[in-house]
Amino acid sequence: MRMRSSLAHGTALFHSRRRACWVVFLGYRCYAGPSLPLPPMSGEMVKQTIQIYARVKPLARRQQAGIYSVGEDEKSASSLEIIVPRDLADGFVNNKRESYKFKFQKIFDQEAKQDAVFESIAKPVAECALAGYNGTIFAYGQTGSGKTFTITGGAERYSDRGIIPRTLSYIFQQLEKDSSKVYTTHVSYLEIYNECGYDLLDPRHEASRLEDLPKVTIMEDPDQNIHLKNLSLQQATNEEEALNLLFLGDTNRMIAETPMNQASTRSHCIFTIHISSKEPGSATIRRSKLHLVDLAGSERVAKTGVGGQLLTEAKYINLSLHYLEQVIIALAEKHRSHIPYRNSMMTSVLRDSLGGNCMTTMIATLSLDKRNIDESISTCRFAQRVALIKNEAVLNEEIDPRLMIIQLKKVIQELKDELAMVTGEQRTEELTQEELLQLEEIIKTFLEDPDPESMLDVGADMRKIKHCFNYIKQLINRTNIPDRHLLSPDITGGEDTNTPEKKEELKKLRDLLHQRDNEINILVSMLKKEKKKAQDALFQLNTGSSGLAVSESSLSISLEEGQRPSACVNVKDTQDFSSSVHRSAFLPRRTGSGGEMSLGRQEAFEIFKRDYVDSVTIEDNKQLLKQRFAEAKSLGEKVNEVRNKINHLKGEITQRHMQRAALGVASPSEELNESDPVEERLRAQIEEEKKSYKTMFNRLKGLKIEIEHLQLLMEKAKVKLQKDFEVWWSEEASNLQDQQEKLPVSNSASALRASPQSLESQQHLYANSFSDTSRVNPSEDRGRKNNLSRLSNSTSNTRLGEQVNFLLHSNTPFVNEEIWTIQKSLLFPHLLSLRTRNNSPLWVCSLTEKK
């Protein structure tokens, strides 16, 4: 005999758990009630015979030769036919018959899975337990026929979980779903070994010898209710906790090794799930128990070939199973008044499950190989007798005595109060502090309730009624008096305002109200005025700036408005030429978003950038940066390649190791430590790759630094460019202004009177005039020419041509000699600036490209 290894986790969990009451009431009366449990208040009775099922353990192929067959009859019950082979028929079973037929609710053949067994057998019983009925499922069969496998499950696969874990899981799932009731669940795990009971959830189980453990004993009260002393009930609030307890109990379970079965359980085990449920606020509690029983093997002692301790065990097991059979036989006989439950502990404990308040199901586990055929037939016969037993399950409802007492006390008090009121008898004693507080709470709730139908119910106690009136009166006086002055006559009922003083006061208040109204009106109109003013100012500001924008985009001679009113008069289409160009149009103008440039200025900036002295450096750097980026990218790819290669080579070495190890196993003579040339080569290759990896990696690092540096340089250059542009822009603007001030009015006026030429010839002229800009560096020159051609191309009307033509060919002294170039103002196509040799701007034109 040996104990299964202890489970540290389970034990720890167990120790922290609160121990339940030491006495458990079996039967439908509660375990935790007063010393004399109350009878069930109500209950729907369910009468049914014990349901019997058979499960056939999978056999080895060679044993499967036509020993049994499974069929279904017209009532959809299953029948099992066991055919006794001729060589066995002469034996002790029955030497005349060769075939035995048994009926079951259902037969689970060899291939039946655990989930199917649970669905058909355990689920309905679990549902009954949840509804408040007791239930029992017990497995009966010879050693090794699959009782433990069916009830607890196999340890190998998750899918092998048996009825207990699946039932726990199902029950907790259902409890979670049902929020209408408050449920409490406890479990107990009893082991009956050699007619003694042990608590499998007792934490001392592992540490002590079995003999030293307190035995679970049966006690019977005068009402023949069974109580189990020393069996603990452990609360399990969820599936995990319940499974831990099951696991702990299984670990503690006694097992012995017999020649027939190396891990045969030699004890009866009863795992019980206790469920109680109560609707919130209700005094009715439902309590039910679900016993899941794994009986010890039913084989005959002679066959097991054991002796000593095991023989004693076998005797006890057989004895208790014999008593179980006695009980079953007695129950099956209709007129037997005495049922010998007390003969064994197991029958005492399962008393309710056998012919009592319980829905009971039996699973006959069968091992239908030749060797066990007689045992299987015995099991089936036993099952047939069990099927005759009728049980009467009732809904286990009871009233919680504590709640019942509270409720009854309340009723008595109410009746007393009513009586006192009817008889006119006055209760003289003062209301207690607690009662007063309660009343105040009730009044508050009543006053706050918006429902006009709500009632103030304080019972028939006159003291309470009086107190309520007083309290409400005080409340009204205290809280409402000051406010009543402000109430309208309708609300106050008009009565209070009738006195001359109150009328006076009311008048004063109304005047005050009127005065305040006036004040508010004045303030509002002031506010409106201010708002309008602000809007006007804002509007003016906006139109002012849009005026600038208009002047900027229009073409006119660069003179102040009013100074040269005739400037545009001579031009054909006055709509296209504005008469003025405001000086500020040329000044650096920031838009609302701060650093953004206006369109013209932006274009100027673009061209300035192109002609900028450092632009070559910037461009070079940009190219270099691009180059470096490309280089870094390809280098990065190469580095990755090399790394992959190294990893691959390493993998090859590992494979090589494995091959060599396998070789070493196959032929131990081969020396594994001997150096491997293939591996050597692979290692050399890795070294090479590592070297190149390192070089490339370093180069990549260098490149990264270089790129960062170049980026920094670019950033700096950008800032410098922007600054230079700003300087140039403002210089340009101030020069222009000076120039405008000095300019003789007649020049421009006469210029505009000059005869127009064709656009083509004008373009030609521009080109010529720019062709001898020898002092300008070639790139600048190219830029200007481009700008010029852009300008000419974009100007499809002849007006611009007319003006420029005049400037170039008129007899004014600066024309031909003085004009050096159409320079910077060409930076943006809307502006033209004629410059003299000393680079001072003469004219600035703004043009609109209207077609």
Ligand X SMILES: Nc1ncnc2c1ncn2[C@@H]1O[C@H](COP(=O)(O)OP(=O)(O)OP(=O)(O)O)[C@@H](O)[C@H]1O
Query: Is residue 845 a contact partner of residue 557, using CB atoms and an 8 Å limit?
Result: yes
Contact with ligand X (CB under 6 A) among 105, 134, 365, 810: 365
**Distance (Å, rounded) from C-alpha 245 to C-alpha 228?**
19
The least CB distance from residue 363 to ligand X, in Å, is: 11
**Distance (Å, rounded) from C-alpha 122 to C-alpha 163?**
7
The least CB distance from residue 301 to ligand X, in Å, is: 14
CA 528 to chain centre: 53
Q: From 227-235, 260-268, 284-292, 532-540, give the range in contact with ligand X by CB under 6 A.
A: 260-268
Query: Is residue 163 a contact partner of residue 118, using CB atoms and an 8 Å limit?
Result: yes
Provide the 8-state DSSP code for 122. I
Residue 144 as a binder of ligand X (CB under 6 A): the answer is yes
Three-state SS at 166: helix
CB atoms within 10 A of CB 519: 10
The least CB distance from residue 43 to ligand X, in Å, is: 35
**Distance (Å, rounded) from C-alpha 788 to C-alpha 827?**
9
Q: From 258-266, 589-597, 633-641, 768-776, give the range in contact with ligand X by CB under 6 A.
A: 258-266
Give me the residue whose beta carbon is nearest to ligand X: 146
End-to-end CA distance of the chain: 112
Helix (H) or strand (E) holding 515: helix 500-553
Residue 517: which residues within 8 A CB-CB, separation 6 or more?
none
Going from the C-alpha of 530 to that of each of 520, 524, 534, the distances in angstroms are 15, 10, 6
The least CB distance from residue 156 to ligand X, in Å, is: 8
The least CB distance from residue 63 to ligand X, in Å, is: 13
142 is in an annotated binding site: yes
Q: Which is nearer to ligand X, 239 or 299 (CB)?
A: 299
Contact with ligand X (CB under 6 A) among 261, 558, 757, 833: 261
Burial tier of 63 (Cβ tally within 10 Å: 0-12, 13-18, 19+) = middle
The least CB distance from residue 383 to ligand X, in Å, is: 15
The least CB distance from residue 260 to ligand X, in Å, is: 8
Residue 460: which residues within 8 A CB-CB, separation 6 or more?
414, 417, 418, 420, 421
**Distance (Å, rounded) from C-alpha 396 to C-alpha 26?**
12
Q: Which is nearer to ligand X, 116 or 476 (CB)?
A: 116
The least CB distance from residue 161 to ligand X, in Å, is: 12
The least CB distance from residue 88 to ligand X, in Å, is: 22
Contact with ligand X (CB under 6 A) among 11, 252, 265, 391: 265
Query: Is residue 776 a contact partner of residue 821, using CB atoms and an 8 Å limit?
Result: yes
Residue 348: which residues within 8 A CB-CB, separation 6 or more?
218, 226, 341, 342
Of 734, 50, 625, 137, which is closest to residue 393 (Cα–Cα)? 50
- Restricted to residues 39-68, the positions that interact with ligand X (CB under 6 A) are 57-58
Q: Which is nearer to ligand X, 193 or 586 (CB)?
A: 193
Q: Which is nearer to ligand X, 194 or 836 (CB)?
A: 194
Count of positions on this chain that bind ligand X (CB under 6 A): 17
Q: Which is nearer to ligand X, 308 or 778 (CB)?
A: 308
The least CB distance from residue 58 to ligand X, in Å, is: 5
Of 442, 439, 498, 426, which is closest to residue 467 (Cα–Cα)? 439
Q: Which is nearer to ligand X, 261 or 740 (CB)?
A: 261
Residue 578 as a binder of ligand X (CB under 6 A): the answer is no
Going from the C-alpha of 132 to that of each of 45, 359, 453, the distances in angstroms are 11, 11, 40
Query: Is residue 368 a contact partner of residue 150, using CB atoms and an 8 Å limit?
Result: no
Of 833, 811, 807, 808, which is closest to residue 822 (Cα–Cα)? 833
Contact with ligand X (CB under 6 A) among 51, 78, 232, 264: 264
**Distance (Å, rounded) from C-alpha 550 to C-alpha 798?**
22
Q: Which is nearer to ligand X, 58 or 702 (CB)?
A: 58
Q: Which is nearer to ligand X, 152 or 578 (CB)?
A: 152
What does DSSP say about strands 99-104 and 2-3: parallel, antiparallel, or unpaired? Answer: unpaired
Q: From 28-36, 148-156, 327-335, 716-724, give the range in contact with ligand X by CB under 6 A.
A: 148-156
The least CB distance from residue 390 to ligand X, in Å, is: 27
**Distance (Å, rounded) from C-alpha 762 to C-alpha 765?**
5
Q: Which is nearer to ligand X, 265 or 739 (CB)?
A: 265
Contact with ligand X (CB under 6 A) among 27, 146, 355, 829: 146
Q: From 37-45, 143-151, 469-477, 641-649, give the range in contact with ligand X by CB under 6 A.
A: 143-151
What are the b/e assignments for 447-471, b being 16+ CB within 10 Å?
eeeeeeeeeeebebbbbbeebbeeb
Query: Is residue 625 a contact partner of residue 707, using CB atoms and an 8 Å limit?
Result: yes
**Distance (Å, rounded) from C-alpha 656 to C-alpha 681?**
12
The least CB distance from residue 222 to ligand X, in Å, is: 37
Contact with ligand X (CB under 6 A) among 46, 120, 123, 154: 154
Q: From 261-269, 469-477, 543-551, 780-788, give the range in contact with ligand X by CB under 6 A.
A: 261-269
What does DSSP say about strands 284-294 and 135-141: parallel, antiparallel, or unpaired? Answer: parallel
Q: Which is nearer to ligand X, 148 or 740 (CB)?
A: 148
CA atoms within 13 A on the CB side of 373: 25
Place of tokens 């899941």: 292
148 is in an annotated binding site: yes
Contact with ligand X (CB under 6 A) among 145, 344, 357, 795: 145
Contact pattern for ligand X over residues 277 through 296, marking x by CB under 6 A = -------------------x
Q: Which is nearer to ligand X, 147 or 464 (CB)?
A: 147
Give ∠ CA 694-697-699 in degrees, rounded to 5: 110
Q: From 137-145, 583-591, 671-679, 692-700, give the range in contact with ligand X by CB under 6 A.
A: 137-145
Q: From 142-150, 423-431, 637-645, 799-807, give the range in contact with ligand X by CB under 6 A.
A: 142-150
Residue 28 as a binder of ligand X (CB under 6 A): the answer is no
Contact with ligand X (CB under 6 A) among 14, 104, 149, 586: 149
Of 261, 253, 262, 263, which is closest to residue 193 (Cα–Cα)? 253
Contact with ligand X (CB under 6 A) among 147, 166, 274, 784: 147
The least CB distance from residue 358 to ligand X, in Å, is: 23
Which tokens is 432 given?
């207690």
145 is in an annotated binding site: yes
144 is in an annotated binding site: yes
Q: Which is nearer to ligand X, 147 or 351 (CB)?
A: 147
The least CB distance from residue 282 to ligand X, in Å, is: 42
Q: From 139-147, 562-570, 636-644, 664-672, give the range in contact with ligand X by CB under 6 A.
A: 139-147
Q: From 41-49, 146-154, 241-249, 328-336, give the range in contact with ligand X by CB under 6 A.
A: 146-154
**Distance (Å, rounded) from C-alpha 84 to C-alpha 372?**
11
Q: From 138-146, 655-663, 804-812, 815-823, give the range in contact with ligand X by CB under 6 A.
A: 138-146
- Restricted to residues 293-332, the positions that interact with ligand X (CB under 6 A) are 296-297
Helix (H) or strand (E) holding 70: strand 68-72
Q: Which is nearer to ligand X, 324 or 646 (CB)?
A: 324
The least CB distance from residue 247 to ligand X, in Å, is: 17
Q: Which is nearer to ligand X, 266 or 830 (CB)?
A: 266
Q: Which is nearer to ligand X, 264 or 846 (CB)?
A: 264
Residue ranges for the known binding site are 141-148
Binding interface with ligand X (CB under 6 A):
57-58, 141, 143-149, 154, 261, 264-265, 296-297, 365
Residue ranges for the known binding site for ATP are 141-148
